[in-house]
Amino acid sequence: MRKYIFLVAIFFLFLENSLSQETDIQTKRQSDSIYTNAIKARGVKIIPIRNKKYKVWTKKSGTGKIKLFLLHGGPGTSPEYFENFPSKLGKNYTIYFYSQLGSYFSDIPKDSTLYMVESFVNDIEEVRQSLDLEQFYILGHSWGNQLAQAYAVKYPEYLKGLLLCNNINEKYEVIVEHQTQLYANILEDIPEYAKYADSLRFGFSGKFSDFSSPDALGFQIRQKAWPIMLEKHYARLVGQMPKALRLSKEHSTGRLMSELGFMQRIDSIDFNKYLIDIKTPTLFIGGKYDFIPSSYYVKMRDRMVNNQNVDIYICPNGSHFTMWDDQDNFFQAVDKFILKIEKSNPK
């Protein structure tokens, strides 16, 4: 039960109202002015990958010396929720946005064999070469962290620093346990379901495992608890959801990623193995109210036994989208970490 509740919770933010079939996505894009404008926007470069069979969208913003490459979450979320990075980081930065294969602004082939972590790592390298990036920083968020870790191990020579934001490596061993407690806490504040809080908290799972029928208790609880989970632990922006964050959800192809088996492939990989081999200076950024417990970042740092330059910053007001619900602290932490590296390694 706990595994299933977690999967519903972690993916539903982007899967609900998202695009499920390739034909639906193509139809939507044809009539979507946001898509058309994004393709034609200033700084956009469409890059062929995988022997030029597919194309991915990138956009360059700014002319600063510091090069920061962004890896969005999901998989399948659009990179739109990174919109505030250029204005928050300022003129010292050049920001590179990248829509991974299968996400809204890039090609979305419906071939399950194309969606492999190793292939996505190689895609980044092809994009890097096309953009002529040397000595740059990668910032990953959520699923983008796992991709960033894999890239940092395979291509460390190009990186000056690695920023892992709201990172999840151990979904079942660590995150599931913590998020189950968060759900139990939420139930305690819903009068009609408060009596089930301890049953959920202590693992008596039978009543909560059925999400298939509107008459099932699990389904009813999720309908009540999930919006509260979003407001408390995903984006603490009640009544003021930024347009960029809303669009990244609406444009998510996460349901298709799941249908093609990519979610399952990601879950089968032990990403902690990458941490052991990463030597690039690394910053973990978390949020006090995220569904990822703050203590988890210490465990990840302790696994980086070959890295002497690892920092942790927990945004005191943030949850999972710390770049939006704790903007000042998030971007100050990003800038401080990068400037520290720039002073010690100005090349």
Q: What is the predicted pLDDT for the residue at 205?
A: 58
- Select from 43, 69, 55, 49 the least CA-distant residue to 106: 55
What pLDDT, on the 0 to 100 scale, is given for residue 108?
A: 95
The active-site residue out of 141, 233, 251, 320 is 320
Report the C-alpha gap between 132 and 336 in whole angstroms: 25
pLDDT for the residue numbered 5? 41
290 is catalytic: yes
Of the candidates 107, 290, 325, 326, the residue annotated as catalytic is: 290
φ, ψ (nearest 5 deg) of residue 202: -105, 15
- 269 Ramachandran zone, left/alpha/beta (phi>0; psi -120 to 50): beta
- CATH number listed for the domain at residues 24-173+237-344: 3.40.50.1820
Predicted pLDDT at 239: 74
198 part of the active site: no
Q: Supply the pLDDT for residue 201.
A: 83
pLDDT value at residue 176: 75
Question: Residue 163 is which amino acid?
Answer: L
User: How does pLDDT run along the chain (347 residues), one tens digit per residue?
Assistant: 444 443 343 333 334 445 444 457 878 898 999 999 999 999 999 999 999 999 999 999 999 999 999 999 999 999 999 999 999 999 999 999 999 999 999 999 999 999 999 999 999 999 999 999 999 999 999 999 999 999 999 999 999 999 999 998 887 767 778 888 898 999 999 999 999 888 888 876 566 767 678 888 888 888 889 889 989 999 999 778 899 999 999 999 998 999 999 988 998 899 999 999 999 999 999 999 999 999 999 999 999 999 999 999 999 999 999 999 999 999 999 999 999 999 987 76
* pLDDT at site 275: 96
Q: What is the predicted pLDDT for the residue at 234? A: 93
Note whether 133 and 67 are within 8 A (CB).
yes
- The pTM of the full predicted model, rounded to 2 decimals, is 0.92
Q: Which entry of 18, 142, 248, 252 is annotated as an active-site residue?
A: 142
Tokens 């998020």 found at: 179
- The pLDDT assigned to 164 comes to 98
Whole-angstrom distance, CA of residue 73 vs CA of residue 79:
8
Do 95 and 62 contact (CB within 8 A), yes or no?
Answer: yes
Distances (CA, A) of 66 to 39, 158, 182, 309: 25, 13, 38, 19
